[in-house]
């Protein structure tokens, strides 16, 4: 299910764990740790943000009864860390490599990974369509895939199926002056000049004062201003460029001048779009028009300006640098398109990760159930208290398939019992069984292509264990009374009595009151 978060900035509908965590105004210091691990998972892997928070919460829930019974938290932390090391090792054993396959095979495997990520999102209905688009976008980046080289542009209207991928750069038509209509809107193999300067008449900035002895000299000063701008424009034309893009404004005089000479120009292009054009076409951004040599000009096979919805887009395709792509998203409501963008961001991150670390594991809760079974077996070989703690860690891992069942509307107890039975088979054939979201019950998720990169699982398990350990290792919360004074008056002094009661309860000072 999605969450609707309403704040000063507006309304956001999302089910991306990291997005929701960022939007929540969390005051509780321990809960902030969970926000941080969701953010770290998002920046490191891109997906599995909800998984991290769920796991950390479940580890703490399992540890709570032990702490209340007077077990020292350090014992629990040690056992949890041992368990985390064991499961990470096990994930690496169970992972299947997709290395060494041909590019076509690899693409179809990566599409499966992307589709798994998208299935829980708002765009899940069109996951195959978007999975293919995401894989094509990432594949066009080449080995050194920087995330900012994939642009996502949002255009309201149309359906999701109207979204398309440009193997090159696309950006919205910028603000234009009169004379723009006469410019050609299509070019084959044009030269491209990128500038970071204004091409318009500027009055003197420094409040300069010019004293004239003869009124006729006034005209020469006015002419000088015009000559400067004409000289700049003339140099742009002589460079042989057919497309001139600038980060700053190109005024009406420049627009008209270029239109008369069949040159396309656009001013006030956004910095990131300009950088993507530069890396795609091989052009260098110039801060002056003097000495524009052919080496600084870029080139692409085809440029056109075309209508997308009610916006006009400038589209560069067939770029020699080639290491950039743009996804143009269509859809009804603004919130919907923004959620689609967040979903695609997750999918893009996953595909990039899977390309670099090409190991995948079975999704749909299969890997979690297998790890849980493995830990339970391992716990029996341990003498001492940590047997109980590792067992509880194993139980906590079942939260993932349980949550999947709840989200899909199935009876979690029923499905989990089937999964436990399947995974307990001595032959090991049940290791790949997870929740069947489409029909209810269980299914071999690996053969139904519900995959996720192993790096997502490893990162989630380690981050969640660390967060749970940090919270467990705290036994006192110390507040600064001065900074709390203003809040304390509003609270009416209730907090004080509570803290003292906890302290008197002997071990209650651990941060959990005795019931």
Give me the active site residues, please: 16, 49-50, 346
Residue 249, pLDDT score: 86
Residue 496, pLDDT score: 46
Any idea what the CATH number is for the domain that residue 290 is in? 3.50.7.10
The answer to whether residue 122 sits within a structural domain is yes
Q: Does 151 lie in the same domain as 77?
A: no
Partners of 331 in the β-ladder: 156, 157
Quickly list DSSP for 332-348.
SSHHHHHHHHHHHHHHH
Element (H, E) at 195: strand 191-195
Q: Does 69 lie in the same domain as 148?
A: no
d(CA 280, CA 440): 47
Any idea what the CATH number is for the domain that residue 351 is in? 3.30.260.10
- Residue carrying structure tokens 């941060």: 511
Pair of tokens at residue 380:
């029996």
Residue 506, pLDDT score: 43
Residue 509, pLDDT score: 44
d(CA 127, CA 393): 33
Closest by CA to 315, choosing from 186, 457, 197, is: 186
Q: Does 428 lie in the same domain as 406?
A: yes
The answer to whether residue 449 sits within a structural domain is yes
Q: Does 78 lie in the same domain as 31?
A: yes
Q: Does 126 lie in the same domain as 84?
A: no
d(CA 379, CA 386): 8
Residue 512, pLDDT score: 47
Per-run averaged pLDDT (10 residues), the chain, 515 residues = 82 80 83 85 79 90 90 90 91 80 75 78 80 84 72 84 84 81 84 85 67 81 82 86 87 86 87 85 85 83 84 83 81 82 83 77 86 90 88 90 86 87 79 82 81 85 91 82 66 47 42 46
Quickly list DSSP for 37-52.
HHHHHHHHTSS-HHHH
The residue from 268, 301, 321 where one domain ends is: 321
Work out whether the CA dihedral 414, 415, 420, 421 comes out positive or negative.
positive
The answer to whether residue 289 sits within a structural domain is yes
pTM value is 0.72
Q: Does 65 lie in the same domain as 130?
A: no
Q: Does 109 lie in the same domain as 73?
A: no
Q: Does 176 lie in the same domain as 163?
A: no
The answer to whether residue 45 sits within a structural domain is yes
- Specify the number of domains making up the chain: 3
Residue 504, pLDDT score: 39
Angle between helices 399-408 and 412-423 (to 10 degrees): 140
Q: Does 251 lie in the same domain as 131?
A: no
The answer to whether residue 65 sits within a structural domain is yes
Any idea what the CATH number is for the domain that residue 18 is in? 1.10.560.10
Residue partners of 381: CB distance under 8 A and separation at least 6: none
The answer to whether residue 199 sits within a structural domain is yes
The answer to whether residue 185 sits within a structural domain is yes
Residue 85, pLDDT score: 92
Q: Does 290 lie in the same domain as 157?
A: no
Q: Does 223 lie in the same domain as 234?
A: yes
Q: How far is CA 164 from CA 136, 304, 488, in A?
A: 11, 16, 55
Domain that holds residue 346: 103-167+326-357
Residue 502, pLDDT score: 42
- Residue carrying structure tokens 């015009």: 226
> Looking only at Cα atoms, what is the longest distance across the chain?
105
Q: Does 378 lie in the same domain as 285?
A: no
The answer to whether residue 485 sits within a structural domain is no
Residue 88, pLDDT score: 92
């Amino acid at each position: 299910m999605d969450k609707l978060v309403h704040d000063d900035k507006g309304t956001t509908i999302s089910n991306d764990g990291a997005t929701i965590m960022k939007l929540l105004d969390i005051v509780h210091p321990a809960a902030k740790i969970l926000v941080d691990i969701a953010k770290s998972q998002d920046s490191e892997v891109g997906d599995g943000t909800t998984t991290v928070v769920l796991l950390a919460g479940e580890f703490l829930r399992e540890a709570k009864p032990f702490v209340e019974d007077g077990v020292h938290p350090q014992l629990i932390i040690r056992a949890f860390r041992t368990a985390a090391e064991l499961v990470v090792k096990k994930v690496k054993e169970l992972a299947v490599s997709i290395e060494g396959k041909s590019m076509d095979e690899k693409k179809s495997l990566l599409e499966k990974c992307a589709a798994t990520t998208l299935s829980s999102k708002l765009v899940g209905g069109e996951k195959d369509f978007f999975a293919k688009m995401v894989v094509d976008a990432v594949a066009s980046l080449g080995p050194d895939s920087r995330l900012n080289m994939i642009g996502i542009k949002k255009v309201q209207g149309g359906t999701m199926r109207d979204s398309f991928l440009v193997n090159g750069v696309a950006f919205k038509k910028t603000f234009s002056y009169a004379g723009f209509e006469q410019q050609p809107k299509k070019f084959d193999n044009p030269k491209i000049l990128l500038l970071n300067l204004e091409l318009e008449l500027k009055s003197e900035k420094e409040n300069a004062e010019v004293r004239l002895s003869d009124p006729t000299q006034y005209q020469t000063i006015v002419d000088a201003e015009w000559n400067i701008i004409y000289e700049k424009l003339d140099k742009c034309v002589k460079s042989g460029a057919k497309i001139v893009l600038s980060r700053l404004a190109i005024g009406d005089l420049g627009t008209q001048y270029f239109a008369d000479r069949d040159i396309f120009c656009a001013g006030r292009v956004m910095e990131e779009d300009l950088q993507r054009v530069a890396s795609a076409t091989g052009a260098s951004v110039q801060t002056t028009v003097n000495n524009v040599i052919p080496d600084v000009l870029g080139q692409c096979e085809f440029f056109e300006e075309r209508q997308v919805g009610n916006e006009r887009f400038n589209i560069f395709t067939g770029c020699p640098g080639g290491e950039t792509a743009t996804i143009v998203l269509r859809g009804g409501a603004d919130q919907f398109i923004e959620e689609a963008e967040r979903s695609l961001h997750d999918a893009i991150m996953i595909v990039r990760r899977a390309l670099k670390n090409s190991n995948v594991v079975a999704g749909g809760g299969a890997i979690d159930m297998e790890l849980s079974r493995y830990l339970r077996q391992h716990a029996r070989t341990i003498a001492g208290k940590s047997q109980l703690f590792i067992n509880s860690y194993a139980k906590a891992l079942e939260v993932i398939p349980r949550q999947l069942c709840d989200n899909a509307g199935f009876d979690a107890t029923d499905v989990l019992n089937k999964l436990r039975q399947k995974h307990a088979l001595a032959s090991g054939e049940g290791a790949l069984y997870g929740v069947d979201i489409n029909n209810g019950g269980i299914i071999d998720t690996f053969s139904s292509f519900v995959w996720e990169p192993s790096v997502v699982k490893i990162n989630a398990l380690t981050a969640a264990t660390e967060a749970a350990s940090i919270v467990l290792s705290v036994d006192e919360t110390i507040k600064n009374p001065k900074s709390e004074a203003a809040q304390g008056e509003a609270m009416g002094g209730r907090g004080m009595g509570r803290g003292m009661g906890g302290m008197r309860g002997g071990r209650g000072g651990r941060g959990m009151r005795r019931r």
